[in-house]
Amino acid sequence: MSDVARGDSAEASRLGEVARLFLKLGCIGFGGPAAHIALMREEVVRRRGWLTDQEFLDLVGATNLIPGPNSTEMAIHIGYRRAGWRGLVLAGTCFIVPAMLIVLALAAVYVRYGTAPEATWVLYGVKPVIIAVVAQALWALGRTAVKGMPTGLTGLVALGLYFYGVNEIALLLCGGVAVMIAENARRLRRPGRATLSGVAPGGLLGLATAAAGGAAAVAGAASFNMTTLFLVFVKIGAVLYGSGYVLLAFLRGDFVERLGWLTDRALLDAIAIGQFTPGPVFTTATFIGYVLGRVPGAVVATVGIFLPAFVFVALSHPVVPRLRNSPWAGAALDGVNAASLALMAGVTWQLGRAAIVDLPTAILAAGAILVLIRSRMNSAWLVMAGGLVGVIFHVLRS
């Protein structure tokens, strides 16, 4: 066999390995980004030896320095490292598609039966559990993200400004810049120290600036159309830092408040479906797209929200070693994360008022928080339990 044929065979084998792995992870990946990344480490470091622990940690750090869904970007990074450009596309697609298809099926059922008493009572039990899951994630992330006075103060100010109505993207950008300047004030006073390892101060945040400028172009729309749907989700995918739960703030800001295409209740339904299914939390976009525009809307929304992740990984992958050692990028990320937590807190409060409407829902939310604190139970099981409790409560009241 020629060297070219052997090379083609090896590439095909690697692409097959990437496809099989990420199709599996896309089907079993319950529990959110942290669980997804833990599963990936088990598979690619311990079982397959594709990466060392240090290499894996470098990629985790890179995903935290760019916008987008962290676990999906990890899949894309690993696919790129294992099988080049084709692996980049294949890994991300295989990780996303199973969740997309599951959400699409559930969205079709929701559109047909979502107002039926049975579905209504399932969601009655699910929604307060979702609020509990988000609240617990907020607490856990806060202990890591609030590292001192600059990040703590940035979070508090961002929370106040969020309730005052300031744009989410502006809060993230300003939070990152504020902490970056505060943490590197002495560097700014030294000539020639404005950059480190070729990474400009705020350069990572600059990846999102162009997309942020597009927010105004879609914010004033009132009637549904596919172009606006696509642009809104591209914008969200291009500027969203932090946990996938920060997505809730962006979705509410765009689809409930600015465009008026969804109610708070419909948004909570979408969040519940996204939490209940495996794979990326961002497939909530698939649900919203289907509710608004059926299958074409689901495809447009899904492509829109995930497309920036592929672009950012392709651009950032070659410079991962330099990003890892940059104090500017690290400080900017700290600020962005603090502002992200503020957005999460604000939207959790607002959605909680729509989900916790009586004593049973309050008990469900409190019970779910207690279980999450005392055990490592997968949140998907809690969501299913909440739905079951909602149905039982309906039967007892009938």
* 97 CB-contact burial (10 Å; exposed 0-12 / middle 13-18 / buried 19+): middle
Residues 106 and 277: beta-carbon distance below 8 Å = yes
Q: Which domain holds residue 336?
A: 6-397
Residues 85 and 261: beta-carbon distance below 8 Å = no
The verdict on residue 1 lying in a domain is no
| Number of folded domains that form the chain | 1
* Spatial distance between the Cα atoms of 192 and 262, rounded to a whole number of angstroms: 50
The verdict on residue 243 lying in a domain is yes
The pLDDT tens digits along the chain (398 residues) read 565 556 667 888 899 999 999 999 998 887 677 778 888 988 999 889 999 888 888 888 778 778 888 899 999 999 999 999 999 999 999 999 999 999 999 899 888 877 655 667 877 888 888 888 878 878 877 887 888 899 999 999 999 999 998 877 788 889 989 998 998 875 666 554 444 444 444 444 444 444 444 444 444 445 889 999 999 999 999 988 755 567 888 899 999 999 999 988 888 888 878 777 888 889 999 999 999 999 999 999 999 999 999 999 999 888 776 655 677 877 887 888 888 888 888 888 888 888 898 999 999 999 999 998 888 776 768 888 888 998 898 888 87
Q: What are the φ/ψ torsions at residue 375 (nearest 5 degrees)?
A: -145, 175
pTM: 0.71
Instruction: Give Cα 232 distance to the centre of its chain.
Output: 15
CB atoms < 10 A from the CB of 1, how many? 8
DSSP letter at 199 equals B
The verdict on residue 20 lying in a domain is yes
Nearest CA to 378 out of 23, 35, 39 is that of 35
Q: What are the φ/ψ torsions at residue 268 (nearest 5 degrees)?
A: -60, -40
Return all residues near 57 (Cβ < 8 A) that are at least 6 apart: none
Residues 75 and 22: beta-carbon distance below 8 Å = yes
The verdict on residue 299 lying in a domain is yes
* Spatial distance between the Cα atoms of 167 and 250, rounded to a whole number of angstroms: 9
Nearest CA to 258 out of 340, 167, 348 is that of 167
Tell me which long-range contacts 184-192 makes (C-beta under 8 A, separation of at least 24). 184/327, 184/328, 184/331, 187/327, 187/328
Residues 269 and 123: beta-carbon distance below 8 Å = yes
* Spatial distance between the Cα atoms of 286 and 280, rounded to a whole number of angstroms: 11
Amino acid at 6: R
Return all residues near 134 (Cβ < 8 A) that are at least 6 apart: 245, 248, 344, 348
